[in-house]
Amino acid sequence: MASEPPPSLRTGSWFRSVVFYEIPVRSFFDSNGDGIGDLPGVTAKLDYLGRLGVGAIWLLPFYVSPWRDEGYDISDHYAIHPKLGTVDDFDRLVEEAHRRGIRVLGDYVANHVSTDHPWFQEARRDRSSPYRAWFLWSDTGTEFSRVRVIFRDEETSNWSWDEVAGQYYFHRFFASQADLNYDAPAVRAEMIRYARFWLGRGLDGFRCDAVPYLFKREGTRSQSLPEVHQFFREVRAMMDREFPGTVLVAEANQSVPETIPYFGEGREFQMVMHFPLMPNLFLALGEEDPRRIVHVLRATLPAPGGTSWAYFLRNHDEVTGEHLSEDEREMMLWLYGRDPRAVLNHGLRRRLAPMLDGDDDRVEMMTALLLGLPGAPYLYYGDEIGMGDRLDLPDRDGVRTPMQWSEGPTAGFSTASPDRLVRPIVSDPRFAPSVRSVAGEEGRDGSLLERVRALLSVRNERAETFSSPLYDALELPGSPVFGFVRPGPAEHILCLYNLSRSEVEVQARLPAWSAPHPTELLGHERRLTVTEGALRGRLPPYGFAWVGFPRVPDPPPP
């Protein structure tokens, strides 16, 4: 078994003070030359992640799977895919990460299993098997007609006919992923056992996949039902009782009114991924107008006590537009999806740097915005070096290409020949390994990697303030600058972000606590002054500023 993490890694609200880093294990680093990234490969790069300033990593599924959907189609929840390593490799990764003060989250895939899973195989062959009740069957495939088809580019129905079973089975996602029936008590018990198993091996928590969809009810959309919340409260209670200090993160791509309840008033998920904000960040940047961001944050802050929003710009899926209006979706496609190959389902299958035309200033500014918000920031592997994507690959594979560690035909990802890699290397000359790699960026003044590293360094140094849930928006009417203050116990930090392609003048009244001698923490070249309680100056195109103000002592009582 993996060693227990030091007490410092299992205390309080640690998840608000660290930067998370998402890792698709198969695409990160190949340690044995077979062309596929693996768990020992992640262990080999922990020092790099430590230097970057990462405090926690989120590993995409590493379980046994036929790998039709990046491992989210699990065929054995209790075993590691042999191409990715062994249980000993997993234990060593967790132990080495903990030794460096880095926490490790896994993916908790509870909604469905692979149709190759022994549970489903027995259920389809034998109607008298107990496993038959673990899945949803139909003679007509007409039930749950109000449930939307999520992967509408690939599937036309949530029901697929199975010749062996002689019935239709239900799947919310791909037909190769059969949904579990959570009305069966044995399913709920098994999924809690699955969580307990990996937490017992040292995981510090889970990012929970597709949480709104576990229960189905006729006549409803079968999402975010009360039973879903009850189940995850049971999971959370088990974790608090048996593995204190571990965390649950919800992937709940829902509207704002449906998303907030996943915090469960502090009794359900400690973190909820902020899907409502993510597409609006890109729309605000494209429109050079921060009002969208201001409105979403006004509706969602603060998170309930003891919890935190999880913010992200990009991840292993598409930039979702599910909860945008039709006009907003069209605007997002016009701004970032003019290549029709980029469009997938309700959004765009693009990485951060290509969406922003390879402009390091914009990438840095958006990363700084993410890091400044009150909550937990999540970075996607390779975004710190401006990695590109491949639109010629199917589905979302184009944003899951091998990490670019150095120049060369395999980008330092593997010693295997290029034709044996899990996916081909990015070929776009603007983002190829000869232009974008860790080796090429590390230690080079002004490189994107060094800029991102500096951002994380400042955030980590001032974790007490940045991890606070406090946030005060600045009133900057008519300005393309998004601004807010992060109040802290000893220092307040003013954050300003110019969303426009032009230099802009900033004028803002500062709160009464403002000290006369601020400290400029980081940002592009700028000219900012504070006089008579007002901030004045100019920000360059896509410039930003983090400015620290020592807290003015409260006046003594009369």
* Residues labelled as active-site residues: 209, 251
DSSP assignments along 487-510, one per residue: --SSEEEEEEEE-SSS-EEEEEEP
**Distance between CA atoms of residues 250 and 276, nearest Å:** 13
Dig out the tokens for 204 from the structure.
Answer: 């510090």
Amino acid at 186: A
Say which residue the tokens 């239709």 belong to.
168
**Distance between CA atoms of residues 448 and 37, nearest Å:** 24
**Distance between CA atoms of residues 438 and 57, nearest Å:** 18
Helical H segments across 126-265, by residue range? 185-200, 226-242, 256-259
Buried b (16+ CB within 10 A) or exposed e, 446-456: ebbbebbbebb
**Would you tell me the crossing angle of helices 360-372 and 448-461 to the nearest 10 degrees?**
10
Q: What is the greatest pairwise CA distance in the chain?
A: 83
Closest CA relative to residue 369, chosen from 446, 287, 254, 277? 277
**Distance between CA atoms of residues 430 and 418, nearest Å:** 20
Say which residue the tokens 């079968």 belong to.
222
CB 421 within 8 A of CB 414: yes
The number of beta carbons lying within 10 Å of the beta carbon of residue 218 is: 10
Dig out the tokens for 307 from the structure.
Answer: 């919890």
The beta-strand segments (E) located in 110-213 are: 112-114, 137-138, 159-162, 167-170, 177-179, 205-209
Helical H segments across 313-417, by residue range? 326-336, 352-355, 360-372
Pairing state between β 534-539 and 504-509: antiparallel
The number of beta carbons lying within 10 Å of the beta carbon of residue 3 is: 11
Q: Which element (helix H / strand E) includes 395? A: none
Dig out the tokens for 155 from the structure.
Answer: 């599937």
Dig out the tokens for 199 from the structure.
Answer: 């937490």
**Distance between CA atoms of residues 242 and 94, nearest Å:** 18
